[in-house]
Amino acid sequence: MTMMQQNIKKPHVRILPDDLANQIAAGEVVERPMSVVKELVENSVDACATRILIEIEQGGKFFIRVTDNGVGLSSEDAQLAFLRHATSKIRNASDLERIVSLGFRGEALPSIASVSKIRMITSDDEHRGGTQIVIEGGGTSNVKEISCPRGTTIEVSQLFYNTPARKKFLKGDGTESSHISQVVTQQALAYPHVHFTLINNDRKVIDVLPTDQNLYRIAELFGADLAKELVLVTAETSDYRLNGFISSPVYTRSSRSAQYCYVNQRFIRDKVIFHSTQHGYSHLIPRGKHPAIYLFLTMDPKLYDVNVHPAKAEVRFAFQQEVHRFVSGAVKEALSASKNIALPNLSLTGHKNNMTQPQKKIDFTETMKSSYLKTQSSEDLSSAVEFMYKVPELKAYDSMNENHSRSQIEIFHDKPNPVANLIYSEFEPLGQLDRSFILMQGKLGILVVDQHVAHERVLYDQFSKAAKNRKSEVQQLLFPLSLEFSHGESELLGRYQKRLGELGLELESFGKNDFLLRSVPAILKKNNHAEIMREIVDMLPTENHEEVLNNKFEEILIMMSCRNAIKINTTLNLSQISKLISDLQGTSMPYTCPHGRPIALLYEMDTILKKFLRK
């Protein structure tokens, strides 16, 4: 060997073998068993299936099977489907601008096949038979003809058996099952006309019948009690259409677990949508609390890009501010109507036998040969609605409350309920409790009203109307109050001096960083004016954006209302109580204070009778 030959270095850059490249690519698409179920269910939806059956074992780590009655695949298409970037959803680059299907990249099946043992049975015409394809770890496919009904079944077993480093990061069976239930719930909400069934270890977890009403699907999945708290949202412009349901301000959760937002029936988690809905509630709910949201946004596919992340749960809007204003405005308008949905009375008693019968294991072949392969008839739809009326505790799986028992539900209903659609005048004032709460009686039970937050709501509405009409009643100060601020603070006050004047706070520049306060809103005449002005300066926005400005001035109105509202430990006579309740009834939102806290709690008569063993 010559010296020259010894000095020649071997190249460090090399082409990875296909199987290793597929496993790396699979890491972006297949994160856990839930990812497999999501991709397969999306394929079933794209195949126009009206019946989708999902079966899992050991949280999907050991076995997943998804069966549908969609259009199916021919033998040639079935074999191509496991090649990377093979797809029937798009043809050229221009199609990326108008994606109308859930899948489009052609990565799901080859990625899943590279990290599991997979079997697919499919047919586009049951009279001609079908095709079975078996692949292990991304290896060579074993193809043979088979007799099967129209549609597709895909079985995935031993996920990550050939990539132990990925497998060890999977969580327990319960956690993985919960993630799968969540993704099935997401799809079931988006496609109420599809019959979804999820079976976990031979136990039926989700089984939602087809319906043309989103509200029934919500009630089936999350319970009738939540559905009764929902408010209809509907809005439309030339570019956007929004419909769905949101909860009344008195129904909130500590997390976003009950928030489902869709763009063109695609479930998304988007900061613009989340912020716009939260902004729509404004100050109607407390900080750290979140409403239940089921919103469906429709727009031209050209107005958003879904090709942002392999999980396809993120989108990028062409006009984010337009979308934000549209959604926020629709939520505000829906809440201002303040009327809950008239959901049929879903009985919570009787028919207990329906809940105790053991679930039968579903035979996939018989199921796919049944009437589910046919178009659902009006009788099927009627039976779906009838199901909603008869079942005492909806068997639909709530992914966040899987272990709720009947005893827990009963305990919950024994608690006082925040009111959301109640006429205060139907209750008679009795007096005060601890000089802080107003007690009232009526046919429905005992109503307890927080006098401070009730008066806060009344004052806030008065302030808001006066500010909107620029007719705030002012109190001229006998001696103008001299106030000194920092340079930055005085600059802010100068910028918003006119706007503050519309609230009744008349300021006059006096020296370099000094101001004279000449008037205040009449309702604040007894307050510490210097302290209030300090608070207001701290709340003024540094950026002069109209939306931010409106939000900040709304916070100022809330602060002023809170400062002047009746305090706790204040004695009220019956005439004062009657006046406060009458004023509260006339406000725009008489059930929550501007901070979002409930104003009144109802101790229902049925609960009282039950506690005294009268029922």
Identify the bridge partners of residue 433 per DSSP, sorted by sequence position.
437
414-615: same fold as 18-208?
no
Dist CA 590 CA 12 (whole Å): 72
E strands, 275-410, in order: 290-291, 293-299, 304-305, 316-317
Report yes or no: 602 and 422 within 8 Å, Cβ to Cβ: yes
Residues 358-416: pLDDT tens digits?
A: 334 334 334 333 333 333 343 443 343 343 334 333 333 343 344 444 333 343 445 67
Q: Name the residue with higher pLDDT: 269 or 551.
A: 269
User: Quick check: 97 pLDDT over 50?
Assistant: yes
Q: What is the DSSP string of 208-234?
A: E---S-HHHHHHHHH-HHHHTTEEEEE
Instruction: Kindly give, in sequence order, each residue whose CB lies less than 8 Å from that of residue 87, ignoring residues fewer than 6 positions away.
Output: 103, 104, 105, 106
At residue 173, the pLDDT reads: 87
Dist CA 229 CA 258 (whole Å): 13
Token pair for 476: 């001229």
At residue 10, the pLDDT reads: 62
User: Percent helix, strand, coil in the chain (nearest 5)?
Assistant: 40, 25, 40
**Model confidence band, residue 22 (pLDDT cutoffs 50, 70, 90):** low
CATH for 414-615? 3.30.1540.20
CA–chain centroid gap for 458, Å, is 31
- C-alpha closest to that of 361 among 33, 41, 65, 59: 65
Report yes or no: 233 and 243 within 8 Å, Cβ to Cβ: yes
- C-alpha closest to that of 295 among 347, 354, 246: 246
Instruction: Kindly give, in sequence order, each residue whose CB lies less than 8 Å from that of residue 412, ignoring residues fewer than 6 positions away.
Output: none
H/E/C letters for each residue in 48-99?
CCCEEEEEEEHHHCCEEEEEECCCCCCHHHHHHCCCCCCCCCCCCHHHHHHC
DSSP alpha helices (H): ranges in 357-486? 364-368, 378-390, 406-413, 451-469
Token pair for 298: 């429709």
At residue 59, the pLDDT reads: 92
Domain boundaries, the chain: 18-208, 229-337, 414-615
Of the chain, the percentage scoring pLDDT greater than 90 comes to 34
Of the chain, the percentage scoring pLDDT greater than 70 comes to 76
Report yes or no: 159 and 56 within 8 Å, Cβ to Cβ: no
H helix or E strand, kind and range, residue 122: strand 117-123
Average pLDDT over residues 130-154: 91
Which amino acid, 284? L
Dist CA 346 CA 225 (whole Å): 9
Identify the bridge partners of residue 123 per DSSP, sorted by sequence position.
151
Residues 500-510: pLDDT tens digits?
A: 888 888 999 88
Report yes or no: 328 and 278 within 8 Å, Cβ to Cβ: no
H helix or E strand, kind and range, residue 603: strand 600-604
Burial of 216 (0-12, 13-18, 19+ CB in 10 A): buried
Instruction: Using alpha carbons only, give the angle 313, 293, 404 rounded to the nearest 5 degrees.
Output: 100
CATH level 3 topology of 229-337: Ribosomal Protein S5; domain 2 (3.30.230)
H helix or E strand, kind and range, residue 580: helix 574-585
Dist CA 244 CA 260 (whole Å): 10
At residue 382, the pLDDT reads: 38
At residue 108, the pLDDT reads: 78
Average pLDDT over residues 114-133: 91
Burial of 92 (0-12, 13-18, 19+ CB in 10 A): exposed
Report yes or no: 152 and 72 within 8 Å, Cβ to Cβ: yes
Report yes or no: 135 and 141 within 8 Å, Cβ to Cβ: yes
At residue 601, the pLDDT reads: 92
- C-alpha closest to that of 291 among 321, 343, 334: 334
Report yes or no: 120 and 77 within 8 Å, Cβ to Cβ: no
**Model confidence band, residue 98 (pLDDT cutoffs 50, 70, 90):** low
At residue 369, the pLDDT reads: 37
pTM of the model: 0.66
H helix or E strand, kind and range, residue 106: none
CA–chain centroid gap for 477, Å, is 49
At residue 8, the pLDDT reads: 59
CA distances (Å), 113 to each of 120, 146, 587, in order? 10, 20, 61
At residue 307, the pLDDT reads: 64
Identify the bridge partners of residue 252 per DSSP, sorted by sequence position.
291
Report yes or no: 261 and 248 within 8 Å, Cβ to Cβ: no
Top CATH class, 18-208: alpha beta
Determine if residue 91 is left, alpha or beta; phi over 0 gives left, psi from -120 to 50 gives alpha, anything else beta.
alpha
End-to-end Cα distance, the chain:
102
At residue 556, the pLDDT reads: 82
Highest mean pLDDT among 107-111, 136-140, 487-491, 516-520: 516-520
Which amino acid, 478? L
Average pLDDT over residues 159-166: 85
Report the helix count and the strand count for the chain, using DSSP H and E: 22, 25
- C-alpha closest to that of 425 among 410, 444, 407, 404: 444
User: Quick check: 534 pLDDT over 90?
Assistant: no
Highest mean pLDDT among 219-228, 368-377, 441-450, 588-597: 441-450
DSSP 8-state symbol, 15: P
Which strands make up the sheet holding 506-509, listed edge to edge? 474-484, 514-521, 506-509
Average pLDDT over residues 26-46: 84
